[in-house]
Amino acid sequence: MTGPLDGVLVVDLTRALAGPHAGMMLGDLGARVIKVENPGSGDDTRGWGPPFVQPDQGGRESTYFLSANRNKQSITLDLKDEADKALLTELLRRADVLLENFRPGTLARLGFGTDVLAELNPRLVTLAISGFGHDGPEGGRAGYDQIAQGEAGLMSLTGSGPDDPQRVGVPIGDLLAGMYGAYGVLAALLERDRTGRGQVVRTSLLAAVVGVHAFQGTAWTVAGQVGRAQGNHHPSIVPYGLFHCGGGGSVQLSCGSEGLWRRLCTEFGLDAEAEGLATNGERVGNRARVVELLETAFADIPAEQLLARLAAAGVPAGKVRNIDEVYAWDQTLSQGLVVDVEHATLGTVALPGPPLRFFAPSATGETETTRREHRAPPTLGADGDAVRAWLAQPAPDAEDGPRT
């Protein structure tokens, strides 16, 4: 239960969120991830807060940092110091994967350009994450999530209406870039099994957000229609969104087929074949009328009772939970989405858990093989001595198997 990437060594030079999230994903899968941080300050996110957690024995830990750095070790290296650069060189010689999210060209200026890395370790897979791409007319721009959300069109699709652009409530551009990056690393490792050589995987916040435009992208590229923010209602499916109900409550429901629309109407005494409402295309054109019709029908029904009736009718529906409610929900807990770890200064803390589970099928059923034990995010430089001692030992050859 160590994970499918057991034996893979990842050197993580990234900071903030996109790169650290990619590294955490690889660590969740069993890779040994060594996080290289600046002496003294470490990853920028160690200082991002509040909230900070301040243990009785002094010091403070940023909950932002804790969110993106489980299953890692930490060593501090000054990449302008020749001795520390030599240590990094030895780490990279042994590594399977390098993660970096410097501005394009920075790693080369530090003496670790792609040509140097290829000579140092031909099997190395490098993930490079930038803000807007590593080339092109604006390839050198710094990447910050909210700026990328705006530049990549996501904010224009999010909000109560076209005049109310809103960012997504989490740094989704950073998170998606990390996810796409980890996905690219896994593909490159798979190809390395065939060719024996690593390669450079590049993605950006811009690419990651454009990569999830989905139907909003093809609405423009194919149909010439520019999507706009429409609040909590789907632009192409009606009814699909948030509806107010009795007692000041609200529910969300989705009628993704005509059969579901008819079930909804039957349950609440509405005419599914009324003029202008019989097909999804007609309902999209009459969205405001459908919303008013349903909210009138729901006006005297409290949210919990309404959800029960929707469930009985077979109409997909749900509530809008606060974050604290999500982590107390028995369904969340049943999926392993909260894990307890032992932190060096905080003691036992609960963290959001990995989103993947693994099962080994057999003739008699499935056996879960999901990793159960997780490392807490490291304190700054906590593993420096151990990593240095390991680097002082002779490095095994690649063909000898795992190098961790």
Read off the pLDDT of each residue in 350-376 and give the average, rounded to a whole number.
94
pLDDT at 1 over 90: no
> Do residue 278 and residue 388 come from a single domain?
no
Read off the pLDDT of each residue in 302-329 and give the average, rounded to a whole number.
97
Tell me, what's the pLDDT at 396? 73
Structure tokens at 363: 């003739």
> Do residue 298 and residue 384 come from a single domain?
no
> Do residue 18 and residue 128 come from a single domain?
yes
Tell me, what's the pLDDT at 173? 97
Read off the pLDDT of each residue in 245-271 and give the average, rounded to a whole number.
97
Share of the chain above pLDDT 70, in %: 97
pLDDT at 401 over 50: no
Which range (41-55, 169-183, 197-211, 331-345) has the least confidence? 41-55
Q: Nearest CA to 156 among 102, 226, 214?
A: 226
**Polymer length of the chain:** 404
pLDDT bracket for residue 13 (50, 70, 90): very high
Read off the pLDDT of each residue in 227-242 and give the average, rounded to a whole number.
95
Tell me, what's the pLDDT at 57? 60
Catalytic positions, written as ranges: 174
**Residue 286 CB partners (closer than 8 Å, separation 6+):** 238, 276, 277
Read off the pLDDT of each residue in 255-284 and give the average, rounded to a whole number.
97
In angstroms, rounded to a whole number, what is the distance separating the alpha carbons of residues 184 and 23?
Answer: 12
> Do residue 314 and residue 348 come from a single domain?
no
Residue ranges with strand state E in 101-199: 125-130
Read off the pLDDT of each residue in 97-122 and give the average, rounded to a whole number.
95
Kindly report each contact of residues 114-123 with a partner whose C-beta sits within 8 Å and lies 24 or more positions away, as own/partner: 114/200, 117/92, 120/89, 120/92, 120/93, 121/92, 121/93, 121/94, 121/95, 121/198, 122/196, 122/197, 122/198, 123/96, 123/192, 123/196, 123/197, 123/198, 123/398
pLDDT bracket for residue 395 (50, 70, 90): confident
Which of residues 140 and 176 earns the better pLDDT score? 176
In a domain, 310, yes or no: yes
17-61: per-residue pLDDT in tens?
999 999 999 999 999 999 999 999 999 999 999 999 986 666 789
> Do residue 67 and residue 167 come from a single domain?
yes
Residues 32-51 as b or e (16 or more Cβ within 10 Å = b) = bbbbbbeeeebbbbbeeeee
SS3 category, 38? coil
In a domain, 228, yes or no: no
In angstroms, rounded to a whole number, what is the distance separating the alpha carbons of residues 108 and 134?
Answer: 13
> Do residue 177 and residue 130 come from a single domain?
yes
111-168: per-residue pLDDT in tens?
999 999 999 999 999 999 999 999 999 998 988 999 999 999 999 999 999 999 999 9
pLDDT bracket for residue 404 (50, 70, 90): low
Rounded to a whole number of angstroms, the CA Rg of the chain reads: 25
Tell me, what's the pLDDT at 55? 67
pLDDT at 403 over 80: no
> Do residue 312 and residue 396 come from a single domain?
no
pLDDT bracket for residue 386 (50, 70, 90): very high
End residue of a domain, out of 288, 318, 348: 318
> Do residue 130 and residue 87 come from a single domain?
yes
End residue of a domain, out of 285, 318, 351: 318
In a domain, 15, yes or no: yes
In a domain, 68, yes or no: yes
> Do residue 303 and residue 364 come from a single domain?
no
In angstroms, rounded to a whole number, what is the distance separating the alpha carbons of residues 302 and 365?
Answer: 42
CATH number at residue 166: 3.40.50.10540
pLDDT at 380 over 70: yes
Place of tokens 């998170």: 175
In angstroms, rounded to a whole number, what is the distance separating the alpha carbons of residues 73 and 386?
Answer: 10
Q: Provide the mean pLDDT of the chain.
A: 94
Per the structure, the count of domains in the chain is 2
Q: Is the dihedral of CA 61, 372, 325, 16 positive or negative?
A: positive
CB 52 within 8 A of CB 61: yes
Alpha helices in 9-61 (DSSP H): 18-28
Domain that holds residue 295: 240-318
